[in-house]
């Protein structure tokens, strides 16, 4: 369903900003509207999920999602990355079948752990360390080593046999879960795959075809058992979604949305955006929209960084003017700014916008 009027790159950019930075609402409604909030454990100056939600939830404060999580219809789980999804999405993601099954020994160890959690109820990993210390250690995802029990708990969670009940000082407390059986017929699998693709496009639209294809491949993390179906659904994207060709590239967005609407306006003020914010996440689109390359350098050696450890893109109206590195020292917010132009915007308007943004960040961090 091609668009009858071709949008310009400027119109698509304005549409992208307006649709994702919607009017702040309640926490449950914001998560439902987003469909997925990517998580990251690093605090600089707050976790990514909090930095994402601060722009979309009225009066949001850092750590609020973790504090309210046990009372929300939300789950820690995987979609294109690890994060938070509405509980209703679990029916699309489970039963999850990992691409690499455990061997017999690992399966037996995991079943032991699962039996203990089922017997005890909500269980802190520390409670299992002594009982299963003989399992040894294995490589972790980000280097170093993890206790095997911790790694197995992660694996059981990924397989949908455990869920995160809550967090105690940031550590997951698990409980056993059993997902209802689902129709696994080819037609039902196709419907689930299409719903997942809808969810991804709704979160990140408008998307150039290459980015949409890449996100489709990342669904192999959240739904590895539906890889063939999600790929097939992507091949029919032009039949299911609105799209237009712009400068030789096809862009996609939900069929019921109109990127050329005059109602699309960038919200006022200056915003510090998380590296994984839906507006920032697709680096290909970011460069097309704003003409420069944003780099996430948290895992880059300090001497090789050009923007800083945890640079937050600076959105001022419709312009992405640079980046900020924020930190808290002795209870006060400190900032270092970088600008694409090489210099800070002149005039009182930017000074006022920066002061308001820093004050808002301090309130969010409850300094």
Average pLDDT, the chain: 91
Greater pLDDT, 23 or 262 = 23
Confidence label for 265 from pLDDT (cuts 50, 70 and 90): confident
Confidence label for 118 from pLDDT (cuts 50, 70 and 90): very high
Is pLDDT above 50 for 143? no
Q: Is the dihedral of CA 191, 197, 199, 205 positive or negative?
A: negative
Which of 5-14, 35-44, 91-100 shows the highest mean pLDDT? 35-44
Confidence label for 140 from pLDDT (cuts 50, 70 and 90): very low
Which pLDDT value is given to residue 99?
85
| Helix (H), strand (E), coil (C) string for the chain | CECCCCCCHHHHHHHHHHHHCCCCECHHHHHHHHCCEECCCCCCCCCHHHHHHCCCECCCCCCHHHHHHHHCCEEEEECCCEEEEEHHHHHHHCCCCCCCCCCHHHHHHHHHHHHHHHHHCCECCHHHHCCCHHHCEEECCCCCEEEHHHHHHHHHHHCCCEEEEEEECCEEEEEECCCCCCCCCHHHHHHHHHHHHHHHHHHHCCEEHHHHHHHHHHHHHHCHHHHHHHHHHHHCHHHHCEEEEECCEEEEECCCCCCCCCCCCCCCCEEECCCCCCCCCCHHHHHHHHCCCCCCCCCCCHHHCCCCCCCEEEEECCEEEEEEEEEEECCEEEEEEEECCCCCCCCHHHHHHHHHHHHHHHHHHCC
Residue 52: alpha-carbon gap to chain centroid? 8
Q: Do residues 316 and 344 make contact, with C-beta atoms less than 8 angstroms apart?
A: no
- Across 90-99, 133-142, 187-196, least confident range: 133-142
Whole-number Å distance between alpha carbons of 153 and 7: 48
Q: Which CATH architecture has domain 104-176?
A: Orthogonal Bundle (1.10)
Is pLDDT above 70 for 276? yes
**Chain position carrying tokens 């509207």:** 33
Whole-number Å distance between alpha carbons of 184 and 164: 26
Whole-number Å distance between alpha carbons of 11 and 264: 9
pLDDT in tens, 6-32: 789 999 999 999 999 999 999 999 999
Which pLDDT value is given to residue 130?
65
pLDDT in tens, 301-346: 999 999 999 999 999 999 999 999 999 999 999 999 999 999 999 8
Confidence label for 5 from pLDDT (cuts 50, 70 and 90): low
Whole-number Å distance between alpha carbons of 129 and 125: 7
Mean pLDDT value across residues 53-75 = 97
Is pLDDT above 50 for 138? no
Mean pLDDT value across residues 121-132 = 79
Q: Do residues 221 and 94 make contact, with C-beta atoms less than 8 angstroms apart?
A: no
Greater pLDDT, 146 or 71 = 71
Mean pLDDT value across residues 66-71 = 96
Identify the CA nearest to 77 among candidates 222, 227, 181, 186: 222
Q: Do residues 316 and 350 make contact, with C-beta atoms less than 8 angstroms apart?
A: yes
Indicate the domain borders of the chain: 104-176, 270-365
Question: What's phi and psi for 164, nearest 5 deg?
Answer: -85, 115
Radius of gyration, CA atoms only, the chain: 22
Identify the CA nearest to 118 among candidates 180, 173, 175: 175
Whole-number Å distance between alpha carbons of 24 and 327: 25
| Whole-number percent of the chain with pLDDT over 90 | 78
């Amino acid at each position: 369903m091609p668009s009858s009027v071709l949008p310009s790159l400027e119109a698509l950019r304005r549409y992208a900003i307006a649709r994702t930075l919607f009017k702040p609402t309640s926490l449950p409604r914001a998560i439902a509207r987003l469909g997925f909030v990517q998580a990251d454990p690093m605090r600089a100056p707050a976790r990514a999920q909090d930095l994402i939600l601060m722009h979309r939830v009225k009066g949001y404060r850092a750590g609020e999602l973790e504090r309210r999580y046990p009372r929300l219809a939300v789950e820690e789980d995987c979609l294109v990355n690890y994060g938070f999804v509405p509980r209703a999405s679990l029916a699309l993601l489970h039963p999850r079948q990992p691409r690499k099954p455990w061997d017999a020994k690992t399966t037996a160890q995991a079943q032991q752990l699962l039996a203990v959690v089922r017997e005890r109820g909500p269980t802190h990993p520390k409670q299992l360390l002594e009982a299963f210390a003989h399992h040894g250690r294995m490589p972790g995802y980000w280097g170093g080593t993890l206790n095997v029990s911790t790694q197995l708990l992660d694996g059981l969670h990924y397989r949908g046999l455990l869920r995160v009940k809550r967090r105690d000082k940031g550590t997951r407390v698990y409980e056993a879960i059993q997902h209802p059986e689902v129709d696994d017929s080819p037609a039902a699998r196709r419907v689930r795959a299409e719903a997942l693709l809808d969810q991804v496009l709704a979160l990140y639209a408008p998307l150039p075809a290459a980015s949409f294809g890449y996100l489709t491949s990342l669904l192999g993390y959240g739904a590895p058992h539906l890889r063939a179906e999600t790929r097939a659904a992507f091949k029919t994207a032009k039949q299911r979604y609105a799209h237009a060709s712009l400068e030789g590239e096809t862009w996609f967005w939900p069929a019921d949305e109109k990127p050329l609407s005059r109602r699309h306006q960038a919200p006022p003020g200056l915003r510090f955006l998380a590296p994984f914010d839906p507006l920032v996440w697709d680096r290909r689109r970011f460069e097309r929209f704003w003409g420069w390359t944003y780099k996430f350098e948290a895992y880059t050696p300090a001497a090789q960084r050009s923007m800083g450890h945890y640079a937050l893109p600076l959105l001022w109206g419709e312009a992405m003017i640079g980046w900020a590195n924020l930190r808290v020292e002795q209870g006060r917010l400190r900032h270092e700014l970088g600008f694409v132009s090489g210099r800070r915007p002149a005039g009182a308007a930017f000074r006022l916008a920066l002061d308001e943004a820093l004050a808002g960040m301090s309130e969010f961090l409850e300094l």
